[in-house]
Amino acid sequence: MKDVYPVSRLVREARVLLEGSFPLLWVEGEISNLAMPASGHIYFTLKDEAAQVRCAMFRNRNRQLRFTPENGMQVLLRVRVTLYEGRGEFQLVVEHMEEAGSGALQRAYEALKQRLGQEGLFDDAHKKPIPALPHTIGIISSPDGAAVHDIVSVLKRRFPAAAVILYPVAVQGEAAARQLVDAVKLADHRKDCDVLIIGRGGGSLEDLWSFNDEQLARALFNCELPVISAVGHEIDFTIADFVADVRAPTPSAAAEIAVPDAKQLLAKIQGLTQRLTVMTKQWLVSEQRHLQHLQRRLPRPDVQLNQQRQVLNQQTKLLGSAWQRILMSSQQKLDYLSARLKHPQAQIDKQQSKLAALQHRLGQAFRAEFKHSETALLSLQQRLHRQLPTHAVIRHHEALSLVRKQLDRLMLMQLDTAKQALKQQVRTLAAVSPLNTLERGYSITTRQQTAEVLTHAETVEKGEMIEVRLLQGHLACEVKSVSKK
For 431-484, the pLDDT digits (tens) are 777 767 777 788 888 888 888 888 888 888 888 888 988 888 888 898 888 887
Same domain, 102 and 174: no
Tell which of 107, 122, 154 closes a domain: 107
Q: What is the pLDDT of residue 206?
A: 75
Same domain, 72 and 170: no
Give me the count of residues in the chain: 485
User: What residues of the chain score a pLDDT lower than 50?
Assistant: none
Residue 46 in domain = yes
- Beta pairing, strands 195-200 & 227-231: parallel
Radius of gyration of the chain (CA): 48
Residue type, 180: L
Which residues share a beta bridge with 474? 469
What beta strand segments (E) does 232-343 contain? 246-247
Distance CA 35, CA 40 (A): 10
Domain count for the chain, please give it.
Answer: 4
163-168 sheet: strands from edge to edge? 163-168, 136-141, 195-200, 227-231, 246-247
Q: What is the pLDDT of residue 317?
A: 85
Same domain, 225 and 339: no
According to DSSP, residue 100 is labeled G
Asked if 230 and 250 touch (Cβ cutoff 8 Å), the reply is yes
Domain assignment of residue 451, given as a range:
437-478
Same domain, 371 and 456: no
* H/E segment holding residue 103: helix 103-119
Same domain, 93 and 196: no
Distance CA 210, CA 109 (A): 11
Distance CA 415, CA 406 (A): 14
DSSP string, 430-480: HHT-HHHHHHTT--EEEETTT-PBP--GGG--TT-EEEEE-SS-EEEEE--
Identify the CATH number of the domain in which residue 58 sits. 2.40.50.140
